[in-house]
C-alpha cells in the first residue's frame, strides 16, 4: 500500500499548487473558475484497496492535466466522496453532497449498481463508472432521456458468464490435464453482480454437457468454508467456480481449500470471477492462491500502459497496484477529450454527446459505447476479458491469445 504520509504530502502539494495558480482571485471567482471532478469511491470497507487506487488515478490525472495548463485554461480539483461498502444510503448521501458542490463530472471505478446510476442520473453532469452491472445499464436503457448522462465504461457482468463458459473448459488441453469428470461447482454471493454472471455460465455449462453438482448462493462474510468444502470432497467437481466479490471471503476460501486438499491433492481447477483483481486479495491469500485462475473485464492491454506506470511510480513512489489505476485514467481522458471537443465544461449536453460518440484507444482497450444502454462494448478488439493465473505469488496474464504473456501451469494441489 502507499505510504500514507507521502500520499498526503502529494495531495497537499497539489492543493497548494492550485491555490497559487489562482492567487489574486476572490473566493467567488475561485469557486467559479475551478473545474470540480467528483469521485464517489469506496474509500473504506472491503473495497478500500481498490478505492485508494481509483482516487490516486484521479489525483495523478488532475496533477498532470494542471501541469499542462489545466482544461480549457482552467485548473481542476478533486472532490472525493466515500461510498464505503457500497451501501445505498452512503451513495445517495455522496451524490447529494457532490451535486451540492456543483461538480462538473463524476468519475469512479465502481460505486454499486443501479443505485448510483439513479442518484447521479438526477443531475446534469456526466457520470462515468465501471460497475460492470446489468442493474446499472438497465436504468439507462429504460429511460435514456433521463439517465443519458450515465456511462458504464466497461462491459456488464454477464460478459463474464459467456466468456468463462467459452474459455474455462479449454484450459485443460493447454495444461495437458485430463478432466476427471464433467462436474461443475458454483459458489456465489447473493449479489446481482455475481448471480447474473454465474447464471449465464451455469446455463451454458449444462448445454455443453457438464453437470452442476453444487450450486450454493451465500451471503458475504463467510468465515468457515468447511461445510461447502465437505460437499466439494463428496461430489468431486472438476471445476470449482467462485463468484463472490469480497476479497476476504475469496482469500479465506483459498486458504481453507489448500489446508483441506493441499497435502493429499485435489483433481480439479479453481476459477474466480474478478475478485483476485482487488489488491488486498493476494496479501490475504498468500501462498494459498498459487495456481488459482481468474478473469477480469477491467484489464490492462494498451501500449501506453508501461510508460504510464513509470510516470505513476515517479509520482507516488511505487507502481500501480490495481487495474483501476489504469481504467479510471482512461475514463478521465474520455471526459477531457469530450470537453475539449465541446470547447466548454458545463455545456453538459454537448459533452455527453461527445462521450456517447467516443472511440477511444485507452490502456484497458478500445472504448465505444452501446447506444441503447451506454455500456462499453466487449470483445478482444474492444474491451477484452483478460485471464490470469497466480504464479510465483503474482498475477500473470494467460489469455486471450492476443494478449497472452505466459502459459497456464498445473495448480500445486493437482497431484
SS3 per-residue string spanning the chain = CCCHHHHHHHHHHHHHHHHHHCCCCCHHHHHHHCEEEEEEECCCCCCHHHHHHHHHHHHHHHHHHHHCCCECCECEEEEEEECCCCCHHHHHHHHHHHHHCCCCEEECCCCCCHHHHHHHHCCCCCEEECCCCHHHHHHHHHCHHHHCCEEECCCCCHHHHHHHHHHHHHHHHHHCCCCCCCEEEEEEECCHHHHHHHHHHHHHHHHCCCEEEEEEEECCCCCCCHHHHHHHHHHCCCEEEEECCCHHHHHHHHHHHHHHHCCCCCCCEEEEECHHHCCHHHHHHHHHHCCCEEEECCCCCCCCHHHHHHHHHHHHCCCCCCCHHHHHHHHHHHHHHHHHHHCCCCCHHHHHHHHHCCCEEECCEEECECCCCCEECECCCCECCEEEEEECCEEEEEECCCCCCCCCCCCCCCC
Residue 105's pLDDT is 98
> What is the reported pLDDT for 328?
98
> Is residue 391 located within the same domain as residue 338?
no
In a domain? residue 407:
no
Closest CA to 295 of 225, 185, 381, 201: 201
Are both 47 and 133 inside the same structural domain? yes
Q: With respect to residue 285, please indicate whether it lies within any of the assigned structural domains.
A: yes
Within this chain, do residues 143 and 53 fall inside the same structural domain, yes or no? yes
Q: Is 414 inside a domain boundary? A: no
252's CB contacts (< 8 A; 6+ apart) are 222, 223, 225, 284
pLDDT score at 23: 36
Same domain, 9 and 150: yes
Q: Give burial (CB, 10 Å; 0-12/13-18/19+) of 112.
A: buried
Q: What residues make up the domain containing 315?
A: 4-155+300-367
Is 142 part of any domain? yes
Say yes or no: 308 and 325 in one domain.
Answer: yes
Domain match, 177 and 224 both: yes
What is the pTM for the complete model shown? 0.86
Residues 335 and 220 occupy one common structural domain: no
Task: Examine the domain organization and report whether 278 and 321 are in the same domain.
Answer: no
Q: Do 185 and 292 sit in the same domain of this protein?
A: yes
411 lies in some domain: no
Q: For residue 291, what is the domain's CATH number? A: 3.40.50.2300
Q: Per-10-residue mean pLDDT for the chain, 415 residues long?
A: 39 40 38 89 94 98 98 98 95 96 97 90 97 95 97 96 97 95 98 96 98 97 97 98 97 98 96 96 97 95 95 98 96 98 98 98 97 96 97 96 95 95
Q: Looking at the structure, do residues 202 and 145 belong to the same domain, yes or no?
A: no
Residues 139 and 168 in one domain: no
Whole-number pLDDT of residue 32? 65
Residue 97 domain flag: yes
At 288-309, the pLDDT tens digits run 999 999 999 999 998 999 999 9
Domains of the chain: total: 2
pLDDT of res. 113: 74
- Is residue 350 in a domain? yes
Confidence (pLDDT) at 374: 98
Whether residue 265 sits in one domain with residue 361: no
For residue range 170-222, list pLDDT tens digits in order.
Answer: 999 999 999 999 999 999 999 999 999 999 999 999 999 999 999 999 999 99
Does a structural domain hold residue 276?
yes
Would you state the pLDDT for residue 28?
Answer: 39
Amino acid at each position: 500500500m502507499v505510504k500514507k504520509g507521502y500520499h498526503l504530502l502529494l495531495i497537499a502539494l497539489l492543493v497548494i499548487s492550485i491555490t497559487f495558480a489562482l492567487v489574486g482571485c476572490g473566493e467567488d471567482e475561485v469557486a467559479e473558475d475551478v473545474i470540480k471532478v467528483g469521485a464517489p469511491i469506496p474509500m473504506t470497507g472491503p473495497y478500500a484497496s481498490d478505492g485508494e487506487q481509483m482516487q490516486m488515478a484521479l489525483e495523478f490525472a488532475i496533477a498532470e492535466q494542471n501541469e499542462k495548463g489545466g482544461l480549457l485554461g482552467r485548473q481542476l480539483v478533486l472532490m472525493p466522496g466515500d461510498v464505503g461498502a457500497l451501501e445505498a444510503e452512503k451513495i445517495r448521501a455522496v451524490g447529494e453532497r457532490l451535486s451540492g458542490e456543483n461538480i462538473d463530472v463524476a468519475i469512479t471505478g465502481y460505486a454499486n449498481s443501479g443505485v448510483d446510476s439513479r442518484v447521479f442520473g438526477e443531475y446534469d453532469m456526466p457520470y462515468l463508472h465501471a460497475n460492470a452491472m446489468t442493474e446499472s445499464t438497465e436504468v439507462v436503457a429504460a429511460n435514456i432521456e433521463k439517465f443519458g448522462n450515465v456511462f458504464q465504461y466497461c462491459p456488464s457482468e454477464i460478459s463474464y458468464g459467456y466468456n468463462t463458459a467459452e474459455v474455462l473448459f479449454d484450459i485443460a488441453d493447454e495444461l495437458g490435464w485430463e478432466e476427471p469428470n464433467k462436474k461443475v461447482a458454483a459458489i456465489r454471493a447473493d449479489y446481482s453482480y455475481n448471480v447474473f454472471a454465474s447464471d449465464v455460465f451455469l446455463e451454458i455449462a449444462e448445454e455443453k454437457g457438464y453437470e452442476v453438482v453444487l450450486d450454493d448462493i451465500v451471503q458475504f462474510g463467510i468465515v468457515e468454508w468447511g461445510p461447502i468444502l465437505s460437499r466439494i470432497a463428496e461430489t468431486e467437481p472438476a471445476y470449482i467456480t467462485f463468484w463472490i466479490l469480497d476479497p476476504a471471503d475469496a482469500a479465506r476460501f483459498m486458504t481453507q481449500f489448500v489446508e483441506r486438499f493441499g497435502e493429499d491433492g485435489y483433481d480439479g481447477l479453481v476459477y474466480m470471477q474478478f475478485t483476485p483483481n482487488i489488491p488486498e486479495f493476494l496479501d490475504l491469500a498468500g501462498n494459498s492462491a498459487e495456481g488459482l485462475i481468474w478473469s477480469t473485464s477491467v484489464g490492462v492491454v494498451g501500449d501506453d500502459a508501461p510508460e504510464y506506470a513509470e510516470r505513476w511510480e515517479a509520482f507516488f513512489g511505487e507502481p500501480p497496484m490495481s487495474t483501476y489505476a489504469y481504467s479510471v485514467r482512461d475514463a478521465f481522458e474520455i471526459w477531457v477529450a469530450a470537453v475539449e471537443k465541446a470547447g466548454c465544461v458545463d455545456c453538459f449536453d454537448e459533452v455527453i454527446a461527445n462521450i456517447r460518440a467516443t472511440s477511444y484507444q485507452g490502456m484497458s482497450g478500445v472504448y465505444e459505447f452501446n447506444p441503447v444502454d451506454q455500456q462499453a462494448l466487449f470483445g478482444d478488439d474492444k474491451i477484452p476479458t483478460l485471464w490470469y493465473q497466480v504464479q510465483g505469488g503474482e498475477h500473470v496474464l494467460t489469455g486471450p491469445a492476443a494478449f497472452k504473456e505466459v502459459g497456464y501451469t498445473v495448480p500445486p494441489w493437482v497431484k
